[in-house]
Amino acid sequence: MEYNLLKTSIDAGVALVTISRPEALNALNSEFFTEFNDFLNGVEKNDMIKVLVITGDGKSFVAGADISELVNMNYEKACCFSKLGQNTFSRLENLKIPVIAAVNGYALGGGCELAMACDFRIVSRNAKFGQPEVHLGLIPGYSGTQRFSRLAGLGNALYAMLTGEMISAEEALHMGLAQKLVEPENLMDEVMTIAKKIAANGSQAIRKAKEIIRKGYDKNIKEGNELETEAFSKLFDYPSTKEGMRAFLEKRKPNW
Ligand code: CO8
């Protein structure tokens, strides 16, 4: 499929997808969801891809769902569009490989929700997060009401979604919404360095770590520990695990 709204590339096991609709600050419309789901189908089938990075073209990460589409919706259409967004973003959360959001500017509404569905967020100093839906008479519809509090706490989620205020990159870092803050001109270099560092690790270990951290998050510690033991032990079935440990003992780099 040819993409109108996505630019894609792969380098050293890292796939980069840039949402590119800068004239509308990369607002998410139906066409985006069709293209993005097709792109994810390809990522899921491609074992060469170890890490996925998502960013936005121009001065915005994503400034939300496309308000010009939302304005014409009724109950049924809103349900469909909300489910489509929730399901698409859940795919990112459940993707076997790590997903990094490189947040280069506005991450508002659906854009904040997209960033929160990624495994972590590296943000430019000029990034601005927010869930401004209440200014439009709406609430978040792509799992923002659920993910925000899990990432940044109940009080911060309520404050953000009741006031609709923008959140600076520094505040996002402080509240746990962002994991690292970098200068705008260094953002992509920094993110690609981190992504390649992850991609150079044992790929089964990376996948298991993501799977078990995410699966265990909604469970109690006893159930989580059982998941961990199962996943930890399963790794011993893979030759690459032994290679990682042997390489350490032989004082060399692993040859995965
Ligand atoms: N949708 C559609 N168009 C947009 C959006 C958007 N979310 N954001 C910006 N644009 C467009 C503008 O209309 C403008 O287009 P044009 O040049 O044709 O007039 C262009 O992008 C540039 O925007 P601005 O001129 O406004 O740029 P500024 O730098 O002055 O302002 C802002 C930047 C502050 C980001 C401003 O554009 C803004 O407030 N945008 C809207 C942010 C927002 O409210 N986002 C939340 C949207 S609702 C949502 O995401 C709900 C998600 C769940 C949906 C569930 C489905 C049912």
pLDDT digits over 63-114, tens only? 999 999 999 999 999 999 999 999 999 999 999 999 999 999 999 999 999 9
Question: Are residues 220 and 178 part of one domain?
Answer: no
pLDDT digits over 234-256, tens only? 999 998 899 999 999 999 999 98
Distance CA 204, CA 97 (A): 9
* 41 backbone φψ class: left, alpha, beta (φ>0; ψ -120 to 50): alpha
211 catalytic, yes or no? no
Is 254 a member of any domain? no
Ligand 1 center to 37 CA (angstroms): 22
Question: Are residues 114 and 74 part of one domain?
Answer: yes
pLDDT of residue 256: 86
Q: Which residues pair with 43 in a beta bridge?
A: none
Question: How many beta carbons lie within 10 A of that of residue 115, not counting itself?
Answer: 29
Which residues form the domain of 182? 6-199
Is 1 a member of any domain? no
CATH code assigned at 108? 3.90.226.10
pLDDT of residue 222: 97
CATH code assigned at 209? 1.10.12
Question: Are residues 212 and 156 part of one domain?
Answer: no
Question: Are residues 174 and 230 part of one domain?
Answer: no
Question: Are residues 212 and 182 part of one domain?
Answer: no
DSSP for 54-81 reads EEESTTEEE--B-HHHHTT--HHHHHHH
Collect contacts of 199-205 with beta carbons under 8 A, ≥24 apart: 199/12, 199/13, 199/14, 199/50, 199/51, 200/13, 202/240, 202/241, 202/244, 202/254, 202/256, 203/50, 203/240, 203/256, 204/235, 204/238, 204/240, 204/241, 205/235, 205/241, 205/244
Ligand 1 center to 138 CA (angstroms): 14
Is 230 a member of any domain? yes
Query: CB of 105 closer than 6 A to ligand 1?
Result: no
Question: Are residues 43 and 132 part of one domain?
Answer: yes
Is 256 a member of any domain? no
Query: CB of 140 closer than 6 A to ligand 1?
Result: yes
Question: Are residues 215 and 109 part of one domain?
Answer: no
Is 114 a member of any domain? yes
Question: Are residues 147 and 98 part of one domain?
Answer: yes
Catalytic residue among 2, 23, 35, 133: 133
Ligand 1 center to 188 CA (angstroms): 24
Is 255 a member of any domain? no
pLDDT digits over 123-179, tens only? 999 999 999 999 999 999 999 999 999 999 999 999 999 999 999 999 999 999 999
Query: Which residue owns the Cα nearest ligand 1 atom 38?
Result: 63
Question: Are residues 194 and 235 part of one domain?
Answer: no
Domains of the chain: total = 2
Query: Which residue owns the Cα nearest ligand 1 atom 41?
Result: 63
Query: Which residue owns the Cα nearest ligand 1 atom 28?
Result: 25
Q: Which of 159, 182, 199 is the last residue of a domain?
A: 199
Question: Are residues 234 and 113 part of one domain?
Answer: no
Report DSSP state, residue 229.
H
Query: CB of 146 closer than 6 A to ligand 1?
Result: no
pTM over 0.95: yes
Is 90 a member of any domain? yes
Which residues make Cβ contacts (< 8 Å) with residue 196, sequence separation at least 6? 12, 13, 14, 51
Ligand 1 center to 66 CA (angstroms): 7
Question: Are residues 168 and 230 part of one domain?
Answer: no
User: Taking the CA atoms of the chain, what radius of gyration do you get in angstroms?
Assistant: 19
Is 49 a member of any domain? yes
Query: Strand locations in the chain, DSSP E?
Result: 6-11, 14-19, 51-56, 60-62, 99-103, 106-108, 120-124, 128-130, 167-168, 180-182
Going by C-alpha positions, the residue among 109, 167, 174 that lies closest to residue 143 is 109
Question: Are residues 228 and 187 part of one domain?
Answer: no
Distance CA 169, CA 188 (A): 16
185 catalytic, yes or no? no
